[in-house]
Copies of this chain bind each other. A is one copy, B any other.
Amino acid sequence: MTLITKLSKRYASKQMNGKKLPQDKVDNILEAIRLAPTSMGLQPFKILVVESQELKNKIFEVAAPGQPQIPNASQVLVFACYRKVTDEILDNYFDLINKTRPMLAKEKVAAYRNMMNGLLNKTADENFQWAARQAYIALGFGLAAAAEQEVDSVPIEGYNPGVLDKLLNLSERNLGSVCMLAIGYRNEETDYNARLPKVRKSTQDLFELL
Q: Which residues of A contact B (CB under 8 A)?
A: 3-4, 7-8, 10-12, 28, 30-37, 39, 41, 43, 46-52, 55, 96-97, 100-101, 103-104, 129, 132-134, 136-141, 143-145, 148, 155, 157, 168, 178-179, 196-201, 203, 206-210
Interface contact B141-A138, CB-CB below 8 Å: no
- B30-A3 in contact (CB<8A): no
Could you list 6 examples of A-B contacts with CB < 8 Å?
A: A4-B28, A101-B199, A129-B129, A136-B136, A136-B140, A141-B143
Residue of B39, B49, B201, B209 near A34 (CB, 8 A) is: B201
Known contacts A136-B136, A141-B140, A144-B141: does B208 contact A46 (CB below 8 Å)? yes
A49's partner among B55, B100, B208 (CB-CB below 8 A) is B208
The smallest C-beta distance from A138 to any residue of chain B, in angstroms, reads: 7
**Are A96's CB and B201's CB within 8 A?**
yes
Chain B positions within 8 Å of A34 at CB level: 200-201, 203, 206-207
| CB <8 Å contact, A32 and B3 | yes
Nearest CB in chain B: distance from A198 CB, A:
7
Does the CB pair B7–A32 fall under 8 Å?
A: yes
Complex CA–CA separation, A143 to B137 (angstroms): 9
Docked CA distance A108–B32 (Å): 36
Contact of A200 with B55 in the complex, beta carbons under 8 Å: no
Please state if A37 and B155 are interface contacts (CB–CB under 8 Å): yes
- B residues within 8 A CB of A39? 155, 157
Nearest opposing residue in chain B for A100, CB measure: B199
A129-B129, A197-B100, A198-B100 known; A209+B51 contact, CB < 8 A: yes
Given contacts A55-B210, A133-B136, A200-B34, contact A3 B145 (CB under 8 A): yes
Given A55-B210, A137-B143, answer yes or no on A31-B4 (Cβ-Cβ < 8 Å): yes
Chain B residues closer than 8 Å to A43, beta-carbon distance: 200-201, 206
Bound Cα distance A28, B31 (Å): 23
What's the Cα separation between A129 and B136 when bound, in Å?
12
